[in-house]
Amino acid sequence: MAEPPIIVVGAGQAGLQIVDSLRRGGYSGRLMLIGDEKSLPYQRPPLSKQYMSENMSDDRLLFRPADYYEKKGVELILGEQVSAIDTQARTVVIDGQTCEYAKLAITTGASVRHIPVPGAELEGVCYLRSVEDAQYIRTQLSSGPQRVAAIGGGFIGLEIAASARELGHSVTVIEAQDRLMARVVAPLVSEYFGDLHRSHGVEVLLDAAVSGIERADDDSLIVDLTDGRRISADLIVVGIGSIPHSALAEAAGLTCNNGIVVDEFAQTSDPNVVAAGDCTMHKNARLNVSHRLESVQNAVDQAKIAAATLLGEPKPYEQVPWFWSDQFDAKLQMVGSSVGFDRTVLRGSIADGEFSVFYFNDGVLIGVDSVNRPSDHVTSRKLIANRTAVSDDVLTDIEQNLKTLL
Amino acid sequence: MPKVIYIDVDGERHETDVANGLSVMEGAIANGVTGILAICGGSCACSTCHGYIDEAWIELVGPPNEIEESTLELASERRAGSRLTCQIAMRDELDGLVVHVADNDG
């Protein structure tokens, strides 16, 4: 009988990275990668950006060419769900078939949060997570001028808004809070992006809570707000966050708490199971926090940690998180976290659209948001990782290179 | 269609057609060139598509712009000819371009 494989459940960014790192790390045993989507594993970040605005072809999204999997000896199973995990017997059930594993990696990602209002199921109301979702939106946008309503002023909503606006559609962003991207950036940055979108002709509504969605007499859609305003739209894209895909792990008895709980080695509560990416509530050894992140950086870096654990060469996860978002001509880059900040310092000029906001907690630099200042972002990654002391004098003087602080 | 010759981190040579307009990074990904990761998908945000332009081609390819220059600071072992391959669009005059892939998986 063949040796049981390492099975990776979830063929997104984290799953692909685990497979890749295992092979690069010298693992030559059986390796199985299972994805519930039919497409070969692909990148999601372009879906709200270039895929929309530049009509990018699907094959340009693929992480690896089709023959990569065979060359690397990866048994790739696509379009199938894993319906159960038995950590005692070390088996998973794939499409009704029970398969034994030597080790298991769970990289099931997250799924969109659905909006709990009447009318949410109407045709023309959609979400963006998969390439199929993106294809649907792109098809709608190519069928003539549309009125697009983006519910949620976070990354997805704003990136879609920018892409649709660049294609010439009329766009309204509907945000329930009093500022955009409130969960991740400072008020200053929210304000800048609100102005940026407005200057490109996007209507940005704040403090706008949705109470329902209706079909209008002319067959278009109407978004009803709690304050009585009604927004007409042909297409509604909802981007109000995501929820971790941890039900499978939870049913298997693995400890979960807003995601699959893992330690700094990507180890779950079962010694034969690791997990990585959007689906994990994980510990960062450097930052000494436990959090769940939805990002490419986390998926890749944590997957490398998970692979190292599987290879028996554990190393702790201590990468400082970073994120990016492209909207119109603004490149927003974020590093660290602004959660718990008690002071901010501004570098550069908001009016010129080139600035960075530095967040401090108790005198320690914890996060930096940069707009069109990639050099600040790059240097800040090192400043935060090294916990370098930084003085306001250097930060506020753009003539001084931040690198002198390193 | 112009050709690009990639020498990957294991020393393996990949000679492949890359359509005009696609980036040198995309050509590498589509052909399974080991070492080009491009985890940001070509947004000039990560540096994991770092490669060294072969000396004979440096001038024709040209220098990085300011954004790329900054992002290159994150890259592994910078040398003359260091470029983020996502920022080089293929064009006819680059037919035969030789790129040595950096170790982006360190």
- DSSP, residue by residue, B45-86: SS-TTEEEE-GGGHHHH----HHHHHHGGGSSS--TTEEEGG
Structural domain harbouring A344: 329-405
**How many residue contacts between A and B have a Cβ separation below 8 Å?**
58
Residue B86 has pLDDT above 60, yes or no: yes
Tell me, yes or no, whether A104 and A119 share the same domain: no
Looking at the structure, tell me whether residues A258 and A234 fall in a common domain: no
Sign of CA dihedral A363, A364, A366, A369: positive
Cα–Cα distance measured from residue A246 to residue A110, given in angstroms and rounded to the nearest whole number: 8
A40 and A140 in a single domain? The answer is no
- Domains annotated on chain B, with CATH: 3-101 (3.10.20.30)
Q: Would you say residue A288 lies in a domain? A: yes
Provide the 3-class DSSP secondary structure of residue A210: strand
Q: How many whole angstroms separate alpha carbon A66 and alpha carbon B82?
A: 29
pLDDT digit string, tens, across residues A164-206? 999 999 999 999 999 999 988 989 999 999 999 999 999 999 9
Co-location of A86 and A30 in the same domain: yes
Confidence of residue B1 (pLDDT cuts 50, 70, 90): very high
Interchain pair A381, B74: CB under 8 A: yes
Indicate if A118 and A224 belong to the same structural domain. yes
**CB-CB neighbors (< 8 A) of B42 in chain A:** 46, 50
- Percent of chain A clearing pLDDT 90 (strictly above): 92
In chain B, which residues touch A (CB < 8 A)? 22, 26, 29-32, 37, 39-46, 66-67, 69-71, 73-74, 105
Q: Are residues A141 and A233 both part of a single domain?
A: yes
Cβ neighbours of A65 in B, within 8 Å: 29-32
A321: in domain: no
**Quick check: is A227 in a domain?**
yes
Among chain B residues, CA nearest to A13: B39
- Domain containing residue A144: CATH number: 3.50.50.60
Number of domains in chain A: 3
- Same-domain pairing of A23 and A105: yes
Report whether pLDDT(B10) > 90: no
With an 8 Å Cβ cutoff, are B67 and A67 in contact? no
Nearest residue in chain B measured CA to CA from A402? B70
CATH assignment at residue A338: 3.30.390.30
ipTM metric: 0.90
The whole-angstrom distance between B68's CA and the closest CA on chain A is 8
Of the candidates A62, A300, A333, the beta carbon closest to that of B45 is on A333
C-alpha A266/C-alpha A61 separation (Å) is 27
Is residue A379 included in any domain, yes or no? yes
If asked whether residues A42 and A101 sit together in one domain, one would say: yes
Render pLDDT for A248-279 as a digit per residue (tens, 0 to 9).
999 999 999 999 999 999 999 999 999 999 99
Q: How far apart are CA A253 and CA A21, in angstroms?
A: 27
CA-to-CA dists, residue A257 to A183, A240, A262, A301, angstroms: 19, 20, 10, 21
Q: Residue A177 carries which DSSP code?
A: S
Cβ <8 Å between A378 and B70? yes
Nearest to B43 among A324, A377, A379 (CB): A324
